Chains A and B, each alone.
Chain A
Amino acid sequence: MIELNHVTKTYPGASQPAVDSVSLTIPEGEICVFIGPSGCGKTTLMRLTNRLIPITSGSISVDGKDIMGLDPIELRRHIGYAIQQVGLFPHMTVRDNIATVPKLLGWARTKIDARVDELLTLVNLEPGTFRDRYPRQLSGGQAQRVGVARAMAADPPIMLMDEPFGAIDPINREVLQDEFLRIQDKLKKTIIFVTHDINEAIKMGQRIALLKEGRLIQTGLPDELLNRPADEFVKSFVGADRVLKRLNLLKVRDAMMTNPVHCRSEDSSEKVLEQMVKNDLAFLIVTDRDQRLLGYVNQYDLRGHKGHAGDVARKLTLTVSPERNLKEALSQMLSYDLGILVVVGEDGRIQGVLNSTTLCSLVGSTYDEHGGHWGRITAAGRIL
């Protein structure tokens, strides 16, 4: 856990503080993203944490201990440090680079070698291939991976990362972000992650702290920042497309209407048609007894049909899993011109439906906690 308490930093000769009375708590095992326009003090704030820059006033404590009471060298050896320029030592092999902090801590050679191979595997680099390479023999993405491995070498509980994926192309950055989140899922480090890219912040951060001119403007979950920006600055910083950004954060599960209106395959066609006309429904989902999706019926097919609705059901191939994010679901709806997507779980049972109007109201600013208005097809459950 990292606690910042009214942390202020004024550089000598500067009229305004670079960091102005920032208070913030970063719980154990969370990634907290510091974000803001350049010169907002986010990097300074990060560097105050491992005493690369001395604090002017206020205090920072790491795991309950005030950092001013700790030896700065010792403190830094127990805090992982990764920077945008990567800063791999060109005169050392990948192995020696990763071994930097373990060597400083005086680990035994065999322990270091084992750890290096373990970390290379963790960041998806084959140890046999990469262990003895020099940094100049690595691509940008590989170097960043080694940089992250080096920061994690001595298994520090806390890590400081200053735009660690900043210097590579967008495609590789996505890959590295995903890999890092996968690693973080297992290791649960407490991380301060500095970036200027709002999309990266939303993706990486469990908590986002938005800074401007040294002051903390808003802190909260990514969703809160997008949905309830504290002021005009936050609103403009997160971008005019903040609503669309929320689509990345939300799962289909969060937006779908559960227990949608449907009929069973053994229901009588006449009765189903009658209800559809009454409720003004053009289509209706058909399931079996176990709520497994069979297809859909429309009024045209049912008209004049005697028997079970299941007999005239049409196949429904485009469905979506509840675990997908809304951006993917919306993209599917747009590309196939669908007003409704049926949400089907792993077991083939229908879990709900996603419709474009609820989606819009959900991600829009008017959305309320209860899920918004569902329009005309709110009638839930089996139609008969």
Chain B
Amino acid sequence: MKRERPRGNYLTLAAVIIAFILGVEAQRRGYLNFARENPGDIYRLLVQHLQLVFYSASIAIALGLTIGIVLTRGFMRRYRETILNLLGICQTVPSLAVIAIAMSYLGIGRKTAVFALVVYSLLPIIRSTVAGIFQVDPALVDAGHGMGMTPRQVLFKVEIPNAMYIILTGIRTAVVINVGTAAMSFLVGGGGLGDLIFSGLAMVDAGLMLAGAVPTACLAIILNWSFERLEKLIISPGIPRGD
């Protein structure tokens, strides 16, 4: 880990330099004019975007973890594969189509957007929860039962802490993808930074488009980074990391 530090620093430095050059170029072409003149709009849409991601991710995590855990319990043994396969098929439906289908039932508005985002990020979370719990060494579960833990204690004190690494990776992926997908909420009137991106595209206005795209990208990067930090905090140092 110590050896990786300097390399990470160089990468950060390179990224800063490239960002600076790109910024200078964008400024020269006048792409930043919109953002400079309407910071309030960008801020308002950014908050909307964050709300979309926050609501949908919260619901998807709560739902996904629950469904994932239920699927790993013994009584679901018979239906597990079928359900996971069905969910896998659902996942192949493009996000745009999910939003379109959701709209045909729920109309337009933020609710539709959140619904579509939840549906779309649910599967990776369920998948990683199931995979995470299944990779826990059966000997640990046996030891837990053998020492007199209740099934609930085995789940919360043994299975989940040991599945945490994989579960959190799944959640991180889902949330980061969610940030990008949330831009499409604009299409169903859900607001968010998608407003700027799609308007910019429609009006062939690079400035408008960038005013939406750059914050979206930054948001995804920052969330990804935060989740990595969170993993370090939550996961016990006793569990070997995948890296």
Contacts and interface: CB of A to CB of B under 8 A. Distances in A.
Interface string A126-149: 000000001110000000000000
> Which among B158, B164, B235 has the greatest number of chain A C-beta atoms within 10 A?
B158
Nearest to B164: A91
Nearest to B235: A91
Contact of A100 (B147, B162, B237): B147
Contact of B145 (A76, A89, A101, A135): A76
B58 to A, nearest CB: 25
B145 A87 contact: no
A75 B148 CA distance: 7
Given A86-B143, A134-B237, 4 more contacts: A76-B148, A87-B140, A91-B238, A135-B238
A52 B146 contact: yes
Contacts of B146: 50, 52, 76, 81, 83, 160
B240 to A, nearest CB: 6
A73 interface: yes
A92 interface: yes
B238 A83 contact: no
B11 to A, nearest CB: 30
Contacts of B203: none
15 contacts: A77-B148, A81-B146, A81-B147, A87-B139, A87-B143, A89-B140, A89-B143, A89-B161, A89-B162, A90-B140, A91-B164, A100-B149, A104-B148, A134-B236, A134-B237
A83 B148 contact: no
Interface of A: 50, 52, 73-78, 81, 83, 85-93, 100-101, 104, 134-136, 150, 160
Contacts of B147: 76-77, 81, 100-101, 104, 150
Nearest to B237: A134
A90 B239 contact: yes
Given A52-B145, A91-B161, A104-B149, A85 B139 contact: yes
Interface in B112-161: 137, 139-140, 142-150, 153, 157-158, 161
Interface in B146-185: 146-150, 153, 157-158, 161-162, 164
B148 A136 contact: no
A333 B61 CA distance: 74
B153 A86 contact: no
Contacts of A76: 145-148
Dominant secondary structure of chain B at its interface with chain A: helix
A92 B238 contact: yes
A86 B140 CA distance: 8
Contacts of B238: 90-93, 134-136
Contacts of B237: 134
Contacts of A135: 238
Contacts of B142: 52, 83, 87
Contacts of A88: 143
Instruction: Rank and list the top 6 A-B pairs by shortest CB-CB distance, nearest first.
Output: A87-B143, A134-B238, A77-B148, A85-B139, A76-B148, A91-B236
B139 A86 contact: yes
A89 B158 CA distance: 7
A167 B148 CA distance: 24
> Which among B148, B161, B238, B239 has the greatest number of chain A C-beta atoms within 10 A?
B148
Interface in B228-243: 235-240
Given A85-B137, A87-B137, A74 B148 contact: yes
A101 B148 contact: yes
Contacts of A89: 140, 143-144, 157-158, 161-162
Given A76-B148, A90-B239, A92-B238, A83 B143 contact: yes
Nearest to A87: B143
B90 to A, nearest CB: 33
A101 B147 CA distance: 6
Nearest to B153: A104
Nearest to B145: A52
A139 to B, nearest CB: 15
Contact of A90 (B144, B148, B162): B162
> Which among A50, A73, A75, A150 has the greatest number of chain B C-beta atoms within 10 A?
A73
B240 A136 contact: yes
A83 B144 CA distance: 11
A87 B154 CA distance: 13
Nearest to B161: A91
A272 B43 CA distance: 117
Nearest to A100: B147
B162 A91 contact: yes
Nearest to A105: B148
Interface in B207-243: 235-240
A376 to B, nearest CB: 60
Contacts of A101: 147-148
Contacts of B145: 52, 76
Contacts of A74: 148
Contacts of B236: 90-92, 134
> Which among A75, A100, A134 has the greatest number of chain B C-beta atoms within 10 A?
A100
Nearest to A84: B139
A73 B139 contact: no
A101 B162 CA distance: 19
Contacts of B240: 90, 136
Contacts of A50: 146
Contacts of A75: 148
A77 B148 CA distance: 5
